[in-house]
Structure 1
Amino acid sequence: METERQEMTRWPIVPLGDFVAKKSSSVNPAMFPGEVFDLYSIPAFDAGQPDVCAGSEIGSAKQVVQPNDVLLSRIVPHIRRAWVVGESQDRRLIASGEWIVFRSPQIRPGYLRYFLIGDSFHTQFMQTVSGVGGSLLRAKATEVAKIKIPVPPLAEQERIVKLLDEGDELRRLRAQADRRTADLIPSLFHEMFGENAKKPHVRVKLEQIAKVVSGVAKGRKFNGRLPVEVPYLRVANVQAGHLDLSEIKTIQALPEEVEELALRKGDVLLTEGGDFDKLGRGAMLEEELPNCIHQNHVFRVRVEQSKLDPVYFAKFLLTGEARGYFLGCAKRTTNLASINMTQLRALPVLLPPLPQQKEFAARVSDIRAMQAEQAASCRRLDDLFHSMLHRAFQGEL
């Protein structure tokens, strides 16, 4: 180990500016409306491949890039994004101006990319960020250029990249398995209750098997009465299929309101509306939250558990049948939609026999246990990978 560290001290420590593309040209694709480009945009990063666009579809000038250029996003919140430009498919390669472009024969693209996504670089990178407002924060390219990187011989860079690629591949396979597992519950629902189910099931209006209530509004006046401050769940807490309880804010409400609206384990919460994808999204509360209530843009559904299992109902809300009902009766404006309590109470709920619902809920519990194990495995792999990243640039791999 000591020998490796001594070797590390002999590696040149070089500012990133030495590898920034010095002769980067630009092009206005709109001047070539019929030409097709490979566009490395910031949004395209998540898809893992550039957008293929005609010049007529691109609204501003772009940087011209080359295969094996390394791109670093300088805009917040799209950070920790480093991308190696792929081979040309007989189309010009262009990139958003929000990328810092690196190009040098002295450094392997994979080695540089791994450095740019590591914790040490990220900490220094964030110190170069400035701007007004969270959506306008950008790193200063001139300051990023001052951050230093250890540069071993090319053969050593290649060895490091090979080891990190192996670790990254394990993470990729784990993520692939997680995506397959995420499909298990919808597939199970379809198998047990879909069109191919052995017996047709009745449909019952939600109001016949559950109590639906709205919540409290913010900023109300209490006309001399003394409210109490309690935790409450907002639209932001209610995601499709799960509740995000990482941030629970507080609200003022009267004591009798808290008593009436206090949430219980097994309650199902639905959003009133918003963007089309938020309409009617819902999830079940899986833990007790003492004295916690909900806001007026969220509906609470408390089912009669002798007729309707809450786990089953929460998953029913994710089906195309429930989504279709909400979209069909929603009040719409441009890009927004909402439902009211009357419409929710009239929701036709597919109602199989309770033992079948309970069987479904038990199998969902098994799947969730497997997902929890996979999530723990994913965290361990991430920790291992980031440890490898750190050691790689300390000369310890």
Structure 2
Amino acid sequence: MSQLMHRVLRDLIVPVSTWNPRQSEDENFNYIDLGAVDQARKLITAARLTRTKEAPSRARQIVSAGDVLVSTVRPNLNGVAVVPGELDGATASTGFCVLRPNAALNTRFLFHWVKSPGFVADMVRKATGASYPAISDRIIHESSLPLPSLPEQRRIAAVLDQADGLLAKRCEALVQIDRLAESIFLELLGRYYANGASWNDSLHLGQVAEVSSGITKGRKPPQASLRAVPYLAVVNVQEKRLELSNVKQIEATEQEIERYRLHEDDLLLTEGGDPDKLGRGSLWNNELPEAIHQNHIFRVRITAGEKVDPVYLSYFVSSDRGKQYFLRSAKQTTGIASINMAQLRRFPLLLPPIEVQQEFARRVRVAQQLRTRQRASLAELDALFASLQDRAFRGLL
């Protein structure tokens, strides 16, 4: 097929209705805010029932099934989704640009276009605001897209839907592997507890581990020679994984580097954030030859290896029991919660015998190896899908 002709998006969509829920009778309505869209899966997963009298000021746009939502904030994260049938008539935040295709544009074709690397790159280039990059509805409306005939749009969308389905299955496999590790934790340790065994619950984290903070960004540099070293910030420490694609560097003295240097099996925990993410952390496995950590990251280094296994500790800290402790102890302001070093040191432990902990760790490592293979396969599929998208929107599919 030849190169496709491009059309401006505003000529291919129809306007959506708006309303002010607070000016209506007191009733429930479905509200889709920016957090309702799963950015990885490109699905609306957390729409919530809201009272009109409690409606946020951004709750304005009435959406229909088949509308395509495009988040106008942080376009690099590509928060997009199609409104499903069960949310027909829901209200979307004004943080979304709502795209309702006219008769010349197929919904699935449009959806795949706003997910494409070309569209994302264009929006990132046009975003404004350094700390909170955003685009306007106008910028999205003025973008252009390749537009074949409707039958060809449907054919391209069907091919991309099929490829997308394979990616979704691989992503779901990763989710199931993560759940497997959680199941191992509950099954193995729960069985031990159910058999009437005695748990050692008199220990606090500070009695079996050294808990420390990290280097302060923006501090006054010491009067000594400095060198650049990679350092981990909050964004790099996720739930049971490290995001190391964008690790920054900081100038530090040799003494500071030695003090804050990460060692294998150090447990890294974030100081604060959303309340439901307290206790978020992961083990350091020497992913980089050398690295230190920021002061908003706590480093937990086990000092009583005969009592505590690091893998067990990382799962126990992030368990429901651990999260409940953090929520009880945390200081909370305007939706942000934080813990301090003293609270972390007082974290109460439940420690089965080290042999039980080590058996748990062995089984988790098997699951992690499987996860690594799945992620590698997913990366290959992602690359193939990106190539497929590129060919589709250049008329070469």
| TM-score normalised by length of structure 2 | 0.81
Deviation at 1:369, TM superposition (A): 0.6
Q: Contact 1:270–1:282 at 8 Å: present in 2 too?
A: yes
Counterpart in the other structure of 2:178: 182
Aligned partners of 1:377, 1:53: CA distance in 2, in Å? 41
Aligned partners of 1:24, 1:336: CA distance in 2, in Å? 34
Counterpart in the other structure of 1:170: 166
Q: Contact 2:75–2:123 at 8 Å: present in 1 too?
A: no
Q: Contact 1:74–1:100 at 8 Å: present in 2 too?
A: no
2:144 paired with 1:151: no
Cα separation, partners in 2 of 1:162 and 1:297, compared to 1, 3 Å: closer
Q: Deviations over 1:57-100 (max 9, x none)?
A: 433573444443444444433763444444477x7454444314
Q: Contact 2:146–2:394 at 8 Å: present in 1 too?
A: no
Counterpart in the other structure of 1:19: 12
Q: Contact 1:229–1:252 at 8 Å: present in 2 too?
A: yes
Give 2:119's match in structure 1, choosing from 118, 121, 130. Answer: 121
Give 1:44's match in structure 2, choosing from 32, 36, 42. Answer: 36
Between Structure 1 and Structure 2, whose CA radius of gyration is higher? Answer: 1
Counterpart in the other structure of 1:33: 25
Structure 1, unmatched stretches of 5+, are none
Structure 2, unmatched stretches of 5+, are none
Q: Deviations over 1:127-177 (max 9, x none)?
A: 4x244444252145267435142222x323222222222111112222222
Deviation at 1:368, TM superposition (A): 0.6
The correspondence of residues 1-397 of structure 1 with structure 2, limited to 5 A, is 5=1, 8-9=2-3, 13-21=6-14, 24-34=16-26, 36-46=28-38, 48=44, 51-58=48-55, 59=57, 62-77=60-75, 80-87=78-85, 92-97=89-94, 98-127=96-125, 129-135=126-132, 137-139=134-136, 141=138, 144-145=141-142, 147-152=144-149, 154-194=150-190, 197=193, 198=195, 199-203=197-201, 204-218=203-217, 230-246=229-245, 247-253=247-253, 255-273=254-272, 275-287=274-286, 292-303=291-302, 304-330=304-330, 335-397=335-397
Aligned partners of 2:220, 2:73: CA distance in 1, in Å? 42
Aligned partners of 2:341, 2:86: CA distance in 1, in Å? 54
Q: Contact 2:76–2:121 at 8 Å: present in 1 too?
A: no
Q: Contact 1:171–1:378 at 8 Å: present in 2 too?
A: yes
Cα separation, partners in 2 of 1:88 and 1:323, compared to 1, 3 Å: closer
Aligned partners of 1:60, 1:274: CA distance in 2, in Å? 23
Cα separation, partners in 2 of 1:279 and 1:67, compared to 1, 3 Å: closer
Quick one: percent identity of the two aligned structures?
35
Cα separation, partners in 2 of 1:168 and 1:209, compared to 1, 3 Å: same
Cα RMSD after superposing both structures: 3.4
Residues 300-309 or 46-55, more deviating: 46-55
